[in-house]
Each structure stands twice: as C-alpha cells, then as structure tokens.
Structure 1
Amino acid sequence: MTETMHRRTLLSAAAALPVLAAPRLAAAQPRYKPEYKITVVGNRPIALSESAFVWADLVNQRSEGRLNFKVYPGSSLVGGDQTRELVAIRQGVIDGAVFSTINISPQVREMNLFSLPFLMPGHAAFDALVASEVGAALFRTLAQRDIEPLAWGENGFREISNSKRAIRAPADLRGLKIRFAAGAIFSEIYTALGANPVQMSFADLQPALSTGAVDGQENPVNLFLGFRMDTLAQKHLTMWNYCADAGIVSISKPVLASLEPRDREIVVEAAREAGQAGNTAARKGLGVMPGGDRSSLEECARRGVEVIDLSPADKRAFAQATRPVYDKWAATVGTDLVRKAEAAIARVS
C-alpha cells in the first residue's frame, strides 16, 4: 500500500467514528453578596419604611433566594443621621435606600423643590409633578451621583402640631419652638412665620417633645398617629399641606450593574410597586383615597387632638408670609425647574 493510500484509509476510519460532543462549560454564576443593606429613615408605619419593606420582601420572594435584601430602619446604618444616607451609598457602605427628598436636599439642592412652601396644594399636584419632566430631571440629577433612582413614592404632606395652641394664622406660630429634620429652607420658613426652628433627628424628636424642649413638630398625619405624638403633648394639629416629603426608591449603580438581567428586572419592578405601596400608606384615612375615608383624622380626634382644617384663604395667608423664602429657594433649586413644576401643577389644580 502506498503512503497516499494509507493516509486515505486513516482519514476514512476517522470519519466513521462517532462525533463526541465537546464538554459544555457551566454558565458562570454571578457572585452576589450574602446580604444587600437597604436604609430608610424611621420604621413602620412611616410610609417610606413601608416602601422599603415591601421592596425587600418582593425582591427576596421573586428572586427565589438569589438576592437577600435586608432593611435597616431608623437610618441605623448611619447612626440615626438620615442626612448621611446618600453619602454612605456612594461610599459602598449601603446598597440601597428609600430616600426622603428632605434628607438628601442638603447634598442635592434640586430636591429642595418639594420643600418650597405651599407649592403643591394636594396629592394630585404631587402626582403631576413627579410624573412630569420635572420628576425625570430630578432622577437624572440623582443618577449623576452613582445612584440609580428607580421609583417615586410619597411619605405624605407635612402637617404641623404643637402643645400650646391651635394654629390658624401665621401669628399663631410666633414664639413656638418647632422641630424640623434637615435643610436650611425649613429654618427660614419658620423664622419667617415668627417661630423658633430647632433642627434635630427623628430619633431625638420624641424625647424632645416629652420634655418640652420643643413645642411642636411637622410630619405626616400617619406618622403622628403611628408614633403616638398625642401622648407627647401634641394636642393641636393643623392641616396646611405646606410641603410634601417625596420618597425615592434607589439603589447603588454598581450594585444594580452587578446583577443578572432577570434580577435587575425584578429589583426595578419591585421598586415601582414599593413606591405605590408607600403612596397608599401616606394617604390612608385622609379623605383623599377613593371612598373619602377619613379614618386617620377621626382617630386623631378620638385621641383628644384638635384637628384644624385650613381653608384655601387661610393657606394663602401662610403662603404670602413665606413668599420671600419661596422666591429665594426657587433660585437655589433652579428657576427653570421651579417654573416647570408650577406649570405641571397648574394643569391639575
């Protein structure tokens, strides 16, 4: 047999052999953290905390154990100082948050939009604002800080309570020591109304009310009820809707990027549902939900709290008294952004 014929025979024999499948490499699995830390101010029944717990529960269930979101309420990961949450996420200490726009406004000046006094008359105005180009612009601003905002929520309109007297006109605030959470704008608002503003964390608020270190505070009604502020001498509650506390369900950009596409989708969709859960909690029993349920306000009355509903004319008097503060901070927020917000609100007012 010639060399050429021998080579052909070997090739033919090789061709007749069964083809063996190449071994399949196991798909690389992402290396997820044992726990993803989610921070939020306060605890249930605060609406922002409701959003945080709903978000974590939905993510944990739908990811079937791949993700473990754990909520740390009371801003406990930052020693109770809610104004440090944003920085902690950027530093990688925290993975996600349900932010209060009030608490991040010292670092993100545009978020002071929600604190402009008497900008939004009610919940329809709030919804219109966050659904507009203004809401999208604020998300883009936050995204420039390595944080991915996923959904808007609401902590509720901030109403004012105190231990001294009913507040029906600006003059009624004169001399009252009123606690505010953060942001120079609040100090200026209460100074313009003749009050003595006192900044302190939420953790310090309850003992301050019980000892009389401060006379009053401003928070949503359902927080007022949940933390039994009626037992802390807060016997006068004025519904004035002077500003709203918006919530933003957010996650670290590097954390979101590290997730598989299916898990990113779960996190984002759960965040949207969590934002809506917060809205529902914030508006419960205030007469603004379908059916006009006013059970939260009725509960205040049952606890011996005088609830003062201001008329539109009454609110205009407060708005006029704080207009210089509004104009000053509109320039800080960005005049163009404020005008767009006013236009979005005007369409539903």
Structure 2
Amino acid sequence: MQKRRFTALLAGLVTSAALGLAMPASAQPYQDEYKLSTVLGEAFPWGWGAKRWADLVAEKTEGRIKIKVYPGTSLVSGDQTKEFTALRQGIIDMAVGSTINWSPQVKELNLFALPFLMPDHKAIDALTQGRVGRQMFEMLAERDVVPLAWGENGFREVSNSKKPIRTPTDLTGMKMRVVGSPLFLATFNALGANPTQMSWADAQPAMATGAVDGQENPLAVFNAAKLHTVDQKHLTLWGYVADPLIFVVNKKVWNSWTEADREAVTAAAQQAAKEEIARARAGISADDDKLLKEIEANGVAVVRLSDAERDAFRTATAGVYKEWAEKVGADLVKQAEEDIAKR
C-alpha cells in the first residue's frame, strides 16, 4: 500500500514537471545557509545593518532561513563593482549594497551621485521613500533581484593629509582615492584633483603610505575606520553626494521561499534598514554632534563650509552634473529635482 502511494506521488510530480506546472515554494528545499554580501563590517552602520537583518530573519523565520554575512565584498575578492553582477548570477544570495557600487551595471543609480543634488537628509528621504525610490526598485526587479528596503551609508565628506579644503582650487593636483565609478572620476577631475579608483581594502594602506593624499566617505566610516591614524588630518564637510544602500535578495532564492517567509524577510529588511539609517545619521547634526566632536578630539581639523563656499564647488561641477543627468535619464533627474524641491 505504502509503495503504491509513493509510486502515485512520483507519477504526479513527473506529470507536473512535464506539463511545466510550477512547484509550490514550500516544496523547494532551503539552503543550509545563505550568503549575504556587504562592503563594511559590523563596526560601521552599513555592516551593522547587514548583521541586524540576518539576525532578524533568523528570529522571524524561527531559524528556517540562516544567513552568514560576508563583509569586505569577500565573495567577489573585494571588488565592490562586481557585487551586483555576482548577485544576479546567484554567487551571492543576498546583499546590502551601495547605489554607487552598483551604478556601473544600473546607470539610473548614478542619480544619487550627481554632485550636490541632495542638500540634506530630507532630500535623501524625498527620493528613496518617494516615487523615485519606487521607480528604482522596479528597475532592479527587472534585473534578477528583489529589492526590499532602503538603507544609508551617508553623505560623503572629503579629507586629506595636506591642507584644509575650502575652495575647488585647494583640490588642484591632489591624489584622491575614489570608488570605481566613472562619475566620481569625472567629478574630481572637474575639481582639478588627480583621482584614483581603488577598493576600500586598498584605500587605507594607500593613505598610510602616502600613495594617495585623501579620500571621501561618510563621517561614520571616517571615524570607525580611524582614518586619523593614516594621516587624514583635514576634513571638509561639503555633503556633495549621499550613498543610499539597498537590501536585496537574489530572485531565484526569493522564489524558493514560502510566502510567509518572504513576508518575514521583508519585515526584517525594513526594520533593519530603519535602524541602520538612524545609526548612520547619529552624532552629525547640530542637535547631536557627538560623532563630530569625537573626530575633532582625534586631532582632525574640521572645515564647515558656508553656503557661498559650497556653491563654488557646485558651480565647478555643474558641467559634470549636466552631462551625467542625461546619462541617468532626464525625466528621472527632473522628477528627483521636483521631489527635493517639495520636501
């Protein structure tokens, strides 16, 4: 009797496969462990957010989905710009990724790196939490991934070992480490600097040896990475671009989970993202400047630009903004500008 039932069940499965019928997600085996890629470790808000997501998923799925976080983009040998491709191919199962690092594959993500587009955190929120953010998620969903939530690495400030930066001419000839994005090269070339693309793993040794003079990163990264110890003693708050993060899952992995577990993973991503953004913004405002004071206490001279001084940098990069706005998509950029103006 038991043998006949097994034979009937097997026949049914074969028939379903022959007819091309989709198997229910619950019938698909879960992996023992899912690989989650991120650039930075737990000492940084970015890496903390990834670990928080993994922990929340384990909790909300009662251990059915176990996630291991791989910082340093170690799953792609540290090459940040290859992370999105590896995610699409299934080499990586999940990621908390940077819009900057994924922009070579998804040109629309360059929107966030247009120089001086976003003046404050309300502007970031207007984009990521509004129609632009929804449109970005729709674009990503067409590329073999399922985006679930927006996080944040923060506004990128510029530092160096040579002198205070107050005007575009202060950057003339300065060797600057930048991420692997053509838009960043264009921006720093427009400012007269000598930009060099390199991974974050290579950046700190390069600063320590003087191979590069400076870099640009959010304040939380500057502090957690102890960049004052690699001679980054001049820091200018110019907020020229911000770096939203995206919590995503590979589409095949997503489709292998039950509907209930998908909902749990989504809820976990949204909670972790909200908490991560709060961490990324902590200590850098007029009301809460604890992080800035800590940076200054380490011997770093902090330059706070006036509106007129910041406008000089905006003017110097206006040509880059115009050129790249066309590459990103004129309609999308216009939409972003309108939403920021309404904030």
Mark yes or no: TM-score above 0.5: yes
Instruction: Tell me which amino acid in the other structure corresponds to 1:346.
Output: A
- Is contact 1:45-1:222 (8 Å) kept? no
Percent identity, aligned pairs only, is: 52
Q: Structure 1 residue 254: deviation in Å?
A: 1.2
- Residue 3 of structure 2: aligned partner: none
Q: Structure 1 residue 158: deviation in Å?
A: 0.2
Q: What is the CA–CA distance in structure 1 between the aligned matches of 2:224 and 2:171, rounded to whole Å?
A: 25
Q: Secondary structure at the match of 1:330?
A: helix
- Residue 254 of structure 1: aligned partner: 252
Pick aligned residue for 2:121 from 120, 123, 128: 123
Instruction: Tell me which amino acid in the other structure corresponds to 1:320.
Output: T
Q: Secondary structure at the match of 2:101?
A: helix
Q: What is the CA–CA distance in structure 1 between the aligned matches of 2:275 and 2:28, rounded to whole Å?
A: 30
- Is contact 1:48-1:100 (8 Å) kept? no
- Residue 228 of structure 1: aligned partner: 226
Q: What is the CA–CA distance in structure 1 between the aligned matches of 2:226 and 2:93, rounded to whole Å?
A: 31
1:323 aligns with 2:321: no
Instruction: Tell me which amino acid in the other structure corresponds to 2:105.
Output: Q
Instruction: Tell me which amino acid in the other structure corresponds to 2:225.
Output: F
Q: What is the CA–CA distance in structure 1 between the aligned matches of 2:186 and 2:246, rounded to whole Å?
A: 25
CA RMSD after TM alignment: 1.4
- Is contact 1:47-1:156 (8 Å) kept? no
Q: What is the CA–CA distance in structure 1 between the aligned matches of 2:160 and 2:276, rounded to whole Å?
A: 26
- Residue 170 of structure 1: aligned partner: 168
- Residue 313 of structure 1: aligned partner: 308
Q: Structure 1 residue 44: deviation in Å?
A: 2.3
Aligned runs of 1:207-246 on 2, under 5 Å? Answer: 207-246=205-244
Q: Structure 1 residue 175: deviation in Å?
A: 0.9
- Is contact 1:120-1:345 (8 Å) kept? yes
Provide TM-score, normalisation by structure 2. Answer: 0.91
Q: Which moved more, 1:251-260 or 1:195-204?
A: 251-260
Q: What is the CA–CA distance in structure 2 between the aligned matches of 1:171 and 1:46, rounded to whole Å?
A: 32
Q: Structure 1 residue 29: deviation in Å?
A: 5.3
1:74 aligns with 2:69: no
Which deviations, in whole Å up to 9, do the C-alpha atoms of 1:36-95 show, x marking residues without a partner? 100001212322212211110000112111110111011011101111111111111110
Q: Structure 1 residue 320: deviation in Å?
A: 0.3
Aligned runs of 1:1-349 on 2, under 5 Å? Answer: 30-287=28-285, 292-348=287-343
- Is contact 1:116-1:326 (8 Å) kept? yes
Q: Which structure has the larger Rg over C-alpha atoms?
A: 1
Q: What is the CA–CA distance in structure 2 between the aligned matches of 1:123 and 1:218, rounded to whole Å?
A: 18
Question: How many residues are paired up?
Answer: 321
- Is contact 2:60-2:265 (8 Å) kept? no
Q: What is the CA–CA distance in structure 1 between the aligned matches of 2:305 and 2:81, rounded to whole Å?
A: 31
Q: Structure 1 residue 31: deviation in Å?
A: 1.3
- Is contact 1:37-1:71 (8 Å) kept? yes
Gaps of 5+ in 1: 1-24
Q: What is the CA–CA distance in structure 1 between the aligned matches of 2:95 and 2:153, rounded to whole Å?
A: 14
Q: Secondary structure at the match of 2:292?
A: helix
Q: Secondary structure at the match of 2:338?
A: helix
- Is contact 1:40-1:97 (8 Å) kept? yes
